[in-house]
Homo-oligomer: A and B are copies of this chain.
Amino acid sequence: MQANSQNSSLSHLNDRGEAQMVDVSAKGATVREALARGQVRMDRATLAAIAAGNLPKGDVLATARLAGIMAAKQTASLIPLCHPLPLSLVEVTLTPDPDLPGYQITARVKTKAETGVEMEALTAVTVTALTLYDMAKAIDKAMDITHIHLVQKTGGKSGDWHRPA
């Protein structure tokens, strides 16, 4: 019993504990939005090199941002039980943070669909971070991709959710 209710809480498992893509065909398509966040921590000198290398028209941040946007569209191919969704907006921002030191990354994703886009936002943040790592790894292999989490989600029957402070 206990096991059963726990299984059904892990919503991608059926009664036999098997992974399945859950049925959303009875749910209405509504506008949903998710905001996720993460960080890439790096050496202070790496942060300076990216800033320098990115001016006047260096492609470091543009490359990372585009990789994140494009990855959001591949979420259903990467995450086995995600539903393929029509995305209506993907927006990725990279902000230098001298206190980390490193970059703060956020991704905002919207859809009009039967289920939410939390995984799309998290995937965008993650692949943006991986690409930033790839672009700078020749000078700093010890960078840390960290604190990736959902900030908030809105829309859908289960209601809004905001990460506790």
Closest CB in chain B relative to A7 CB, distance in Å = 5
Specify how many copies of this chain sit in the oligomer: 6
- Binary interface profile of A, 131-151, with partner B (CB < 8 Å = 1, else 0)? 101111111011111111110
Does A22 have its Cβ within 8 Å of any Cβ on chain B? yes
Known: A65-B19, A79-B134. A141 touches B127 (CB 8 A): no
Alpha-carbon separation in the docked complex, A77 to B49 (Å): 26
Do the beta carbons of B9 and A49 come within 8 Å of each other? yes
- Binary interface profile of A, 5-49, with partner B (CB < 8 Å = 1, else 0)? 011011111101111111111000001000000100000000001
A7-B58, A59-B62, A144-B148 given; name 14 further pairs at CB < 8 Å. A9-B138, A18-B62, A21-B89, A23-B110, A24-B89, A56-B57, A70-B77, A70-B80, A73-B77, A74-B77, A86-B86, A137-B150, A141-B163, A145-B148
Do the beta carbons of A12 and B134 come within 8 Å of each other? yes
Alpha-carbon separation in the docked complex, A118 to B130 (Å): 10
Q: Which of A58, A113, A118 has the most chain B CB atoms closer than 10 A to its own CB? A: A58
Q: Contact partner of A122 among B16, B87, B133, CB < 8 A?
A: B133
Residues from chain B with Cβ under 8 Å of A56 in the complex? 17, 55-57
Closest CB in chain B relative to A71 CB, distance in Å = 6
Alpha-carbon separation in the docked complex, A113 to B86 (Å): 9
Alpha-carbon separation in the docked complex, A83 to B127 (Å): 16
